[in-house]
Amino acid sequence: QDENLLPRKYFEVDFPMIVARKIHNIKSKPPLSKPIMESHSGDSLLIDSHSLDSSRYSIVGADLRSSSDLEEKLRKHSLDTHLPTLLVAECVLVYMTPQQSASLLKWAASTFPVAMVINYEQVNMRDRFGQIMIENLQRRHCNLAGVELCSSLDSQRERLLGSGWDNAHAVDMMKVYSFLPQADVKRIEALEFLDEKELFEQLMQHYCICWASKDSSNL
């Protein structure tokens, strides 16, 4: 904040029902509401039971499977598509059909001239460990509608490239873990004894971070 590196505006998108619960928690819990009120003392802050909007932060209730509805609500909350934009999805696309996630990614690629998308979700789901993960979720009535695109790092990259992004990369979380400063890793691992290291490694190999970008301004 002191170096003026905060984003111009942060948008959080979720289902309207979830947004209503989030706003109820913000309004009813002073540790959540007080910082928002204080940081916007001189700005306009609109908050009701179904939406929150300010000059720097908005919570938007929308269904990501309808990009036209999503765009309309974002623009209503002062989205500026000409600014460089970072889009982050955490275990979101896997719950959409391949057609629905492709539509969302294509919309983002065509809407923002300068943008990066970061996606965190499952990978390597065709092996035995991945199949067990799917079966466990299905027993809890949780359907991974887009799991076929989580078969490999290549399938994750190809999904992004096929949706209009200029370049794409993907690494599994075990690789990410190996990139962390070793001093931090030792400190973290000393906090609690990990007796199932093989299971931990298998789990990390079945999640990944993918990122893609397009840059018409050569930033």
Alpha-carbon distance 152 to 48, whole Å? Answer: 43
Residue 90 is labelled as binding a ligand? yes
Alpha-carbon distance 65 to 118, whole Å? Answer: 18
Nearest to 93 by CA among 107, 76, 111, 114: 107
Residue 12 is labelled as binding a ligand? no
Residue 199 is labelled as binding a ligand? no
Question: The tokens 């993960």 sit on which residue?
Answer: 133
User: How many residues can be counted in the chain?
Assistant: 219
Residues 208, 120 contacting (CB under 8 angstroms): yes
The torsion of the CA quartet 198, 201, 207, 209, rounded to 10 degrees, works out to: 180
Residues 13, 64 contacting (CB under 8 angstroms): yes
Helix (H, G, I), strand (E, B) or coil at 69: helix
Q: Which residues are annotated as part of the binding site for S-adenosyl-L-methionine?
A: 63-64, 90
Q: Which residues are annotated as part of the binding site?
A: 63-64, 90
